[in-house]
Amino acid sequence: MKINGKTVAEEYDLEQWNVEMSYGEVTNESSWEPGCPVPILLESEFGMKKIKLSMLAKGSGRGLIWEKCEKIIAELAKPAVLELEGFNHKYKVVLTNAQQVESSIKRFHKAVLELIGYEFGEHRTVTIKPGQNLWLENNGTVYAPLKITVNQNRQYEPKNTIYLYYIDDEITGTSNSVMVGRFLFEGKTERLMFDASNGKTEEKMVNEEKTTAGGLQKIEIFDIPRIKPGGMYFACKQSGGSADTTVTIEYEERYI
């Protein structure tokens, strides 16, 4: 078992004992309106998982045991990445409750931690050139948000360079191109990034020079860039600028 990449047995001298896992909370806004011959059935949405983690703490005295447990509680009090023994994926979690059972068996004490969060797979990174279509595979069970970074080779100063990116959403065997956003490059902008998982944007200027126009003014988002379970095509168009420009796409598969 690991927390933020640290092996718990080595770092805190604690052992994973038992895990109680639940699916993400399900919400659905479907309804049957008066006068409507059939109900309106909408897709369900999934919230965060609930994880109940029991751990064993061992020590030469109660004070030492409490100290070990307090350290791991402090680590989980802020968002952390959890890797559990017997489970294939990772979990981004935060602590909601903590209990410690004082009764001991053979000098072991049990700490019970309650957490909420989401399950995700390995980090994936792919690169696409302007004019290319790229299939993004998603073996998860829910939509996966994308982090998109556009890098320009600054051979010269293009003016009003516009990047358009869109995702092909396959509908009943046909392709329906939906543009979800565009990056507008002006003057000395070298790199623009948008992370759909947290809404964060970043802008890098040539030679780190600053301008009054920030990244928020140069990134237009019409829909959250994400890929559905199974996968989707990602495409990019370019107007002007350097042919050496590349688009990097990063994402992690997510699960119910």
pLDDT by 10s per residue, the chain, length 256: 999 999 999 988 889 999 999 888 899 999 999 999 999 999 888 889 999 999 988 777 777 788 888 889 999 999 999 999 999 999 999 999 988 766 655 667 888 999 999 999 989 999 987 777 888 899 999 889 989 888 765 554 445 556 666 666 554 444 445 667 777 666 566 677 888 888 787 777 655 444 444 444 467 777 778 888 888 888 777 655 555 678 889 999 999 8
DSSP characters over 180-225: EEEEEE-TTEEEEEEETTTTEEEEEEGGG---SS-GGGTEEESS--
pLDDT for position 250:
92
Under a CB-based contact definition with an 8 Å cutoff, are residues 238 and 152 in contact? no
Q: Record the tokens describing residue 213, joined without a space.
A: 């126009």
Instruction: Give, in order, the Cα–Cα distances in Å from 193 to each of 97, 188, 207, 252.
Output: 36, 15, 17, 17
Find tokens 């049990």 and name the residue. 110
The DSSP H or E segment spanning 157 is none
pLDDT for position 226:
84
pLDDT for position 213:
44
pLDDT for position 16:
93
Residue 24 DSSP code: P
Nearest by Cα to 9 from 103, 95, 85: 85
Residue 163 DSSP code: E
pLDDT for position 86:
93
CA distance 117 to 228: 20
pTM score above 0.85:
no
CA distance 120 to 91: 6
Burial 194-207 (b: 16+ CB within 10 A, else e): bbbbeeebebbeee
> What are residue 225's phi and psi, to 5 degrees?
-70, 115
Residue ranges of domains in the chain, CATH in brackets: 2-119 (2.40.30.200), 129-255 (2.60.120)
